[in-house]
Amino acid sequence: MSDWDNLVEPTRGALEALLRKGDEMADRIEDLEAKLAKAVEELENMQKVPRSDASYGILMVMIKYTLAELKGQNQ
């Protein structure tokens, strides 16, 4: 068996591990993009609600929760 033959399996394993990590990172990016879009939508909705309206407080709580999610904090 040549040196090349001895490197094939470890190289294949390393490449597969890199592909898995890349897939995990892509999934995480998609998740963060969805959370960011949600936060932007909530901020836009907040601009439409008068501060005296009861739903303003609800929107503030939703925004705080979404920002905590973006930071990776559990509520």
Q: Does the predicted model carry a pTM greater than 0.85?
A: no
Q: What does R_g of the chain's alpha carbons equal in angstroms?
A: 23
Q: Round to the nearest angstrom and report the end-to-end CA distance of the chain.
A: 57
Residue pLDDT, tens place only, 18-59: 999 999 999 999 998 888 888 878 777 777 777 777 777 787
**Domain ranges across the chain:** 3-70
